[in-house]
Amino acid sequence: MKRIAMLVVAIALMAVPASALGSSSTCQAYNPQSCIPQTHTSGQLPFTGLDLVLLVAGGGALLGAGFVVRRISRNLS
């Protein structure tokens, strides 16, 4: 009987956080404008802030620096 009571208590304690996660308090508390569903009909992806040109330029600079270091280390040995 004691095992069953402990099992019921354990299941009840696991159900409490699940019900707390079901409510959306961030919508009302932090940003009420996020509660309104926004639809985009333009067919384009939203800008996320990542500038791909700078990312490719940085990768190219690192790749070039690697080739220079390799060339210099080959001449020294």
Provide the total of helices (H) and of strands (E) in the chain, helices listed first.
3, 0
Q: What does pTM read for this prediction?
A: 0.38
Looking at the chain, the whole-number percentage of residues with pLDDT higher than 70 is 62
Mean pLDDT of the 18-40 span:
60
* Cβ neighbours of residue 34 closer than 8 Å, sequence gap 6 or more: 26, 27
> Which residue type is seen at 70?
R
Domains of the chain: which residue ranges?
51-77
Query: Can you list the alpha helix ranges (DSSP code H) found in 23-51?
Result: 25-29
Q: Tell me the average pLDDT across 11-27.
A: 63
**Residue 31 confidence (pLDDT):** 65
